[in-house]
Amino acid sequence: MLAARRGELEALARLDDASAALLAPILDVPADATSIVDSLTRLPAGLLPAVDVSALPDATEHDPVRWGVPLVPVIGLADSDRRLAAHGAAARVWAHHAVVRLRVGPDRAGPDAATAAAERVWRVTGLLPEQCDLLLDAGDVCCQADVRLAEPRVRRAAQWARRHAWRSVTAAAGGMPPALSRLPVDEPVRLERYDWSLWRRLADLRLGYGDYGVGCAVRDADEPGDRTPTLRWAADDAWWVYRWSRRGGRGDERFADLCRTLTAAPHWSSAGAGFSWGDHEIVRRARRGAGAGSPANWIAWSTSHHLAHVLAALVRPEPDQRAG
């Protein structure tokens, strides 16, 4: 689940065909968004994005069916009848399926109420349960206490989901904390990937995996005005956050120093520049082969690496996924 911003969209656009075939991105369109249609047309041919417009006003001009590009609508259980009908139309035009997003924190009215809400969705959209992918969105999990709170909620939601013939069921959460500007600078900072920890604790349920990329699940907590060079690098159980503000020299030189520090670290991928497009761009800058880029570039490179890392981890067998 990625914010529909330039950095995240650029990372998706750079995916190779093999990776694109394994991903089902959900794009959260922010309330202040301008048109993202041009960006959607640049995505790989095999990548069909789902689009969540719930942050936009409930009006005809914001209906994805009017955009004229292939996509999957994202449906909320509390959406108006008007918006549900529009989402049903979009599903029939492009994908013949939709994503139903159940936020397991706020949407806790009980199984019978959830069933009534889901039946309303199917009735008004004209979709069948088997045409709907269910997303169990646990939201923000930024500490071990959040994981302990979210796990039983997801388990209850998954138990309810078994009553119905969903096309698929996925559990998702976001572990990146807000306000990275509070972290130390000029040294790598390790942050636990609590979203990954939660999913491993749920491994016995055999749900699909989802996360919020390298962004915070609380979308308005992101800090677009922070121009301190920052990379958010995924490793097995943690992110390594690099915020570099070393004085002296040109900005390009300072960012090259950041990239050299990252590529020399133990958590740098052994595959090197070939691991992802983002890794390739960091190696170029470590060798002073390009400029420092912008905040959107730093998000793009971090997201590119994150997607490659998660895909590699999901296909790698683990003897005990509940550990940790």
Interval 116-172: pLDDT, tens? 999 999 999 999 999 999 999 999 999 999 999 999 999 999 999 999 999 999 999
In this predicted structure, the answer to whether residue 223 has a pLDDT above a threshold of 60 is no
- Say what the pLDDT of residue 105 is: 80
Mean pLDDT for the chain? 91
Of 204-213, 231-240, 283-292, least confident by mean pLDDT is 283-292
pLDDT band, very low/low/confident/very high, at 246 (cuts 50, 70, 90): confident
HSE on the CB side for 161, CA within 13 Å? 25
| Nearest by Cα to 172 from 317, 17, 24 | 24
Beta strands in 127-194 (DSSP E): 132-140, 168-174, 189-192
Nearest to 189 by CA among 267, 248, 287: 267
Q: Under DSSP, is residue 141 helix (H, G, I), strand (E, B) or coil?
A: coil
How many whole angstroms separate alpha carbon 198 and alpha carbon 194?
6
Residue keyed to tokens 């939709």: 98
What are the structure tokens assigned to 320, written together? 């005990």
Degrees, nearest 5: CA angle 28-29-31: 125
Q: How confident is the model at residue 221 (pLDDT cuts 50, 70, 90)?
A: low
Residue 258: closest CA among 306, 225, 224, 291:
291
pLDDT of 322 over the 70 cut = no
DSSP 3-state of 160: helix
pLDDT at 318: 56
Q: What angle do CA 258, 220, 222 make, to 5 degrees?
A: 5
Give the C-alpha separation, 97 to 204, whole Å.
27
User: In the chain, where are the structural domains located?
Assistant: 2-315
| Averaged pLDDT, 56-71 | 93
Residue type, 264: A
Measured CA to CA, the distance from residue 240 to residue 192 in angstroms comes to: 9
Query: Average of pLDDT values for 304-318?
Result: 88
Helix (H, G, I), strand (E, B), or coil: what is residue 175?
coil
**Are 170 and 133 within 8 A, CB to CB?**
yes
Looking at domain 2-315, does it have CATH number 3.20.20? yes
pLDDT at 36 > cutoff 80 = yes
Closest by CA position to 298, among listed 306, 308, 310:
306
Can you name the residues that pair with 3 across neighbouring β-strands?
Answer: 28
Task: State the Cα–Cα distance between residues 55 and 172, nearest whole angstrom.
Answer: 19
**pLDDT value of residue 48:** 94
Q: Where are the beta strands (DSSP E) in 89-150?
A: 98-103, 132-140
Say yes or no to pLDDT of 319 above 50: no
Number of H helices, E strands in the chain: 10, 11
- 18-32 per-position pLDDT tens digit: 999 999 999 999 887
pLDDT for 214: 96
pLDDT digits (tens, 9 = 90+) for 73-94: 999 999 999 999 999 999 999 9
